[in-house]
């Protein structure tokens, strides 16, 4: 009734220590179980009937696990199922939130693993049972499917899948404007989002709080053309409450490819000069020398600075809009033209502000 350990094909893939533990478990528990007297089950029995090919880590004390289960009695009668609620059961392990037998029975599980956990009454609901569903002295059998788990201390796990063959001199850093493709799924393979749905790469300024923290981190230090896999725990993604299409406390799997990278501008800046700004800035802008700079002159001047490589606009926004915003900032009395008194460099303004504050 309780086959000893996992099916033989998966034994080959287990690390030796794990294999030994399983054998010890199986022998120890198997003997206890199979006592000729047919005595009571003394311990939790774990049968790992599906172990995924890749198991980079196993459930440990303190992990938060999301799993589905069917709960039955020894006669096969069902008493509870997470599937009927259409929602995983989510809990911390080893902290007494669940019956002791489940706390024990979930430890060592891989993501995606299916295991049967048989729990004697003294590690479940004891002699008295509980509610109207669990009678006294019931042995409980849980068929469990582990969807994902994480630890609150987890950081983003980053694995480079491929890099462009030519050397990469500059990698992404905070403040950069990046374009990237991504696929996002749950760890059980459920597809959630992909940039390929939009037919264009996603855009973001790194560190600008525009994407979830784990993705922001995972996109840093990357070469253009590099592909990475990111495993993002929920506290660096959509948290306990989840988001549209994302279950609460879900661990997310991203595959990202960096398409392009540009230096960003300092916070609050729309345009910067590469070197010093022109000495006679207003005169240079006032193309017809009438003492006023309307939007057309302003726009012509800024575009010339950009095309001559003297300065650059904030990346990731329509240049016309940025230039329009710059004009609005400078036209302080909003009369549609900039005068020599109105024109101020942002760096000078900031400095003045600092002095005023001091
Ligand atoms: Ca003018
Ligand atoms: Ca004005």
Strands (E), 39-119: 45-50, 64-73, 78-81, 89-92, 114-119
The first and second tokens of residue 276, run together, are: 């010093």
Burial of 318 (0-12, 13-18, 19+ CB in 10 A): exposed
- Per the domain annotation, does 97 fall within a domain? yes
Among 262, 281, 296, the domain-final residue is: 262
- Per the domain annotation, does 1 fall within a domain? no
What spacing in Å lies between the alpha carbon of 324 and ligand 1's midpoint?
17
- Per the domain annotation, does 3 fall within a domain? no
Angle at 216 between CA 215 and CA 218, to 5 degrees: 60
Q: Which of 67, 125, 149, 327 is catalytic?
A: 125
Among 212, 242, 262, the domain-final residue is: 262
- Asked if 42 and 164 sit in the same domain, the reply is no
In the prediction, which pLDDT does 28 show?
41
- Asked if 168 and 280 sit in the same domain, the reply is no
- Asked if 109 and 33 sit in the same domain, the reply is yes
- Per the domain annotation, does 2 fall within a domain? no
Closest Cα partner for 87 from 250, 239, 251, 212? 250
- Asked if 146 and 170 sit in the same domain, the reply is no
- Asked if 212 and 317 sit in the same domain, the reply is no
- Asked if 13 and 136 sit in the same domain, the reply is yes
Q: Using CA atoms, how far apart are residues 4 and 33, in angstroms rounded to an integer? A: 11
- Asked if 248 and 214 sit in the same domain, the reply is yes
Concerning whether 69 is annotated as a catalytic residue, the answer is yes
CATH number for position 278: 1.10.238.10
Task: Tell me what percent of the chain is helix, strand and coil, each rounded to the nearest 5.
Answer: 25, 25, 50
Residue span of the structural domain in which 291 resides? 271-357
Q: Using CA atoms, how far apart are residues 315 and 307, in angstroms rounded to an integer? A: 14
Concerning whether 79 is annotated as a catalytic residue, the answer is yes
Q: Which of 64, 67, 69, 301 is catalytic?
A: 69
- Per the domain annotation, does 88 fall within a domain? yes
- Asked if 167 and 284 sit in the same domain, the reply is no
What spacing in Å lies between the alpha carbon of 356 and ligand 2's midpoint?
24
- Asked if 275 and 230 sit in the same domain, the reply is no
In the prediction, which pLDDT does 15 show?
53
Q: Using CA atoms, how far apart are residues 312 and 314, in angstroms rounded to an integer? A: 7
- Per the domain annotation, does 65 fall within a domain? yes
What spacing in Å lies between the alpha carbon of 315 and ligand 2's midpoint?
27
Tell me how far apart the 2 most distant CA atoms of the chain are, in Å: 108
CATH number for position 35: 3.10.50.40
Contact 178, 241 (CB under 8 A): no
Task: Average pLDDT across each block of 10 residues of the chain; the chain has 358 residues. List them in order.
Answer: 42 49 45 50 95 94 97 97 95 95 97 97 96 96 97 96 90 95 95 91 92 97 97 97 94 97 90 92 96 97 96 92 96 97 88 74
End-to-end CA distance of the chain: 80
Q: Using CA atoms, how far apart are residues 163 and 159, in angstroms rounded to an integer? A: 11
Concerning whether 142 is annotated as a catalytic residue, the answer is yes
For the chain, what is the domain count?
A: 3
- Per the domain annotation, does 37 fall within a domain? yes
Q: Quick one: which ligand is closest to 297's CA?
A: 1
Among 105, 127, 150, the domain-final residue is: 150
In the prediction, which pLDDT does 217 show?
97
In the prediction, which pLDDT does 260 show?
95
- Per the domain annotation, does 188 fall within a domain? yes
- Asked if 239 and 171 sit in the same domain, the reply is yes
In the prediction, which pLDDT does 23 show?
46
- Asked if 140 and 59 sit in the same domain, the reply is yes
The first and second tokens of residue 198, run together, are: 């939009």
Q: Quick one: which ligand is closest to 333's CA?
A: 2
All residues at 6 or more sequence positions from 314 whose CB lies less than 8 Å from its CB, including other chains: 264, 265, 269, 270, 271, 322
- Asked if 102 and 145 sit in the same domain, the reply is yes
């Amino acid at each position: 009734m309780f086959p000893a350990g996992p099916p033989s094909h998966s034994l080959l893939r287990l690390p030796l220590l794990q294999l030994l533990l399983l054998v010890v478990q199986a022998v120890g528990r198997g003997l206890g179980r199979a006592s000729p007297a047919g005595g009571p089950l003394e311990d939790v029995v774990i049968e790992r009937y599906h172990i995924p090919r890749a198991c980079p880590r196993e459930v440990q004390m303190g992990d938060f696990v999301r799993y589905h289960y069917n709960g039955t009695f020894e006669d096969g009668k069902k008493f509870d199922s997470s599937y009927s609620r259409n929602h995983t059961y989510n809990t911390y392990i080893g902290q007494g939130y669940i019956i002791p037998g489940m706390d024990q029975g979930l430890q060592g599980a891989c993501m995606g693993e299916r295991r049967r956990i048989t729990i004697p009454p003294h590690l479940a609901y004891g002699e008295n049972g509980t509610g109207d569903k669990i009678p006294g002295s019931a042995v409980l059998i849980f068929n469990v499917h582990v969807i994902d788990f994480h630890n609150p201390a987890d950081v983003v796990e980053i694995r480079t899948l491929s890099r462009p063959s030519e050397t990469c001199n500059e990698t992404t850093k905070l403040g950069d404007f990046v374009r990237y493709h991504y696929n996002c799924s749950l760890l059980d393979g459920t597809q959630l989002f992909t940039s390929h749905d939009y037919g264009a790469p996603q855009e973001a300024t790194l560190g600008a709080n525009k994407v979830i923290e784990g993705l922001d981190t995972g996109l840093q230090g990357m070469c253009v053309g590099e592909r990475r896999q990111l495993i993002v725990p929920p506290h660096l993604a959509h948290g306990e409450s989840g988001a549209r299409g994302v279950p609460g406390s879900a661990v997310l799997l991203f595959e990202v490819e960096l398409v392009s990278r540009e230096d960003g501008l300092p916070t609050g800046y729309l345009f910067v000069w590469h070197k010093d700004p022109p000495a006679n800035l207003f005169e240079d802008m006032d193309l017809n020398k009438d003492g006023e700079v309307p939007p057309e002159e302003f726009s012509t001047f800024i575009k010339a600075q950009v095309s001559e490589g003297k300065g650059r606009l904030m990346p990731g926004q329509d240049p016309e809009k940025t230039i329009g915003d710059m004009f609005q900032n400078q036209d302080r009395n909003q009369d549609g033209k900039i005068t020599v008194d109105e024109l101020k460099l942002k760096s000078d303004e900031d400095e003045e502000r600092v002095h005023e504050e001091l």
